[in-house]
Amino acid sequence: MSAARMSSSSLRLTTLARAPRRSLGQVRLAHAEHGTHQHLPFTYKNKKAFAAKYFAFVCVPFSIPFIAAGYQLRKAGSVA
């Protein structure tokens, strides 16, 4: 019976040794205060100007392939 007891205690120790542990590097020690619009990496004062800049930033790169395809089709004479 002592052999069975020893094997169960050694099994328990191996299980505990393999258990995941949190290292100090994974724990955040600081906490930032959160406020209105503090999660954005930038600030803006004029919402209309921001909307226009955002629209230009998103729509111009999206339209470039369509403009290039139209230019190539017109250059080849395929479009009337």
Judge whether 13 lies within some domain: no
Judge whether 30 lies within some domain: no
pLDDT at 21: 65
Judge whether 76 lies within some domain: yes
pLDDT at 45: 83
User: Could you tell me the residue range of the domain that residue 79 belongs to?
Assistant: 45-80
- What tens-digit pLDDT sequence spans the chain (80 residues)? 565 555 666 666 666 666 666 565 566 666 666 666 667 777 778 889 989 999 999 999 999 999 999 999 999 987 75
Judge whether 18 lies within some domain: no
CA distances from 28 to 7, 23, 32, 69, 77 (A): 39, 11, 11, 50, 63
Judge whether 77 lies within some domain: yes
Judge whether 79 lies within some domain: yes
pLDDT at 28: 62
pLDDT at 76: 92
How many domains is the chain built from? 1
Token pair of 66 as six digits: 């369509």
pLDDT at 60: 95
